[in-house]
Structure 1
Amino acid sequence: MRSPTLSASVGPAAAVFENRLSERLTAVVTGARRRAVRDGDPHLDTAHLLHTLVENDPRVWGAFAGGPPQVVRLLGYLVQRTIGYGLRWSGAVETSVTGAGDGVPGWSPAAATAMAAAAGRAAARGAFLAEGPDLLAALTYDRECRAVEVLRRAGVDVDLLVTALDGESCQLQTG
């Protein structure tokens, strides 16, 4: 059964950032939507995005200082979220500390803010389309979002991750 909220999420507000996504990142968003529906969540949140991104975009794995073992541990925490870890989030909409991102149907304010920030990060490096590393970096901007909570619980040093992603952005600009 499809959530009416999520099926409406491709409205004009979402299209503002969705037309700025690479093909791979579009697939990540599609997978995150499916995950949210499967989990019975009315909104796609930052943990849904993180889970699908880490599962499907190997380019983000290199940003994790702990290498493949840390990515595996993170995926383990994300799976736990799907089977129970995220139960306390069930039925609650993830907000954004910035207050932005409201009004995008089917998206938590924090997830919408992260997607817009990913598009902005891509533009800052001279690209029209956002890529997986842009989204991963954008997810770390809101230190109170669900994705960052999962990262911390999985033992990821978020400051180190931000530094690695900032370095990658510089490489993408000059490479």
Structure 2
Amino acid sequence: MTAVAGGARRRAVRDGDRHVDTAHLLHSLVESDPEVREVFDGGPQLARVLGYLVQRSIGYGLRWQGTQEDSGEFPAVREPDGEGWSPSAAAALERAVRGAVLRGRVHAGGLDLLLALVTDPRSRAVEVLERAGVVTERLAARAADRLGAGSPLQ
């Protein structure tokens, strides 16, 4: 998780974004965690997800650069907090840790974060996944099965 968070922060800075959002987290997670890549419906689907994420990071495709993620699920932050996370990204990180603790783990892993990202249906991460043809409920169910986590969208 530390490597994923660090990668997401570097990506946000490089992209010129004020906050690290859920799409930054998703991008870093998919790039760095082989276990997460395994829960997708094969290489073509994963390639489409990465394609959308790369388009976004180079300034075209999904147009979010310089704006703050606000899914409506969490209050918007006017100025970056001390950590620079969007409300949705901060909530996803908290859900990932909480899910891991509930399963008796000390640390959250990539699948915990993936599950946490897809629980906010209006987040940028979910938008990327859906545009790439990913059925997030199915993705979450596969991740939850691997974790032994039960119902994935709680």
Distance 1:38 1:91 in 2: 11
2:39 aligned partner, one-letter code: A
Aligned partner of residue 152 in structure 1, secondary structure: helix
Give the corresponding residue for 1:109.
87
Q: 1:39 to 1:135 in 2, by over 3 A?
A: same
Give the corresponding residue for 1:70.
45
- In angstroms, what is the RMSD of aligned CA positions? 1.7
Does the aligned pair in 2 maintain the 1:115–1:138 contact within 8 Å?
yes
1:119 shift after superposition = 0.2
Scaled by the length of structure 2, the TM-score of the pair is 0.87
Scaled by the length of structure 1, the TM-score of the pair is 0.77
> Moved runs in structure 1, 4+ residues, more than 6 A?
none
Q: 1:104 to 1:141 in 2, by over 3 A?
A: farther
1:169 shift after superposition = 1.8
Larger Rg computed on CA atoms: 1
How much identity, in percent, do the aligned residues show?
52
- Give 5+ residue unaligned stretches, structure 1: 1-24
Distance 1:72 1:98 in 2: 29
Q: How many residue pairs were aligned?
A: 145
1:60 equivalent in alignment to 2:36: yes
1:166 aligned partner, one-letter code: A
1:164 equivalent in alignment to 2:142: yes
Give the corresponding residue for 1:19.
none
- Give 5+ residue unaligned stretches, structure 2: 150-154
1:95 shift after superposition = 2.0
2:27 equivalent among 51, 54, 67: 51
1:95 aligned partner, one-letter code: D
Q: 1:101 to 1:93 in 2, by over 3 A?
A: closer
1:93 equivalent among 50, 68, 76: 68
Task: Tell me which protein shows more helix as a share of its residues.
Answer: 1
**Within-5 A mapping of 1:1-175:** 25-64=1-40, 66-83=41-58, 84-86=60-62, 88-99=63-74, 104-105=81-82, 106-170=84-148
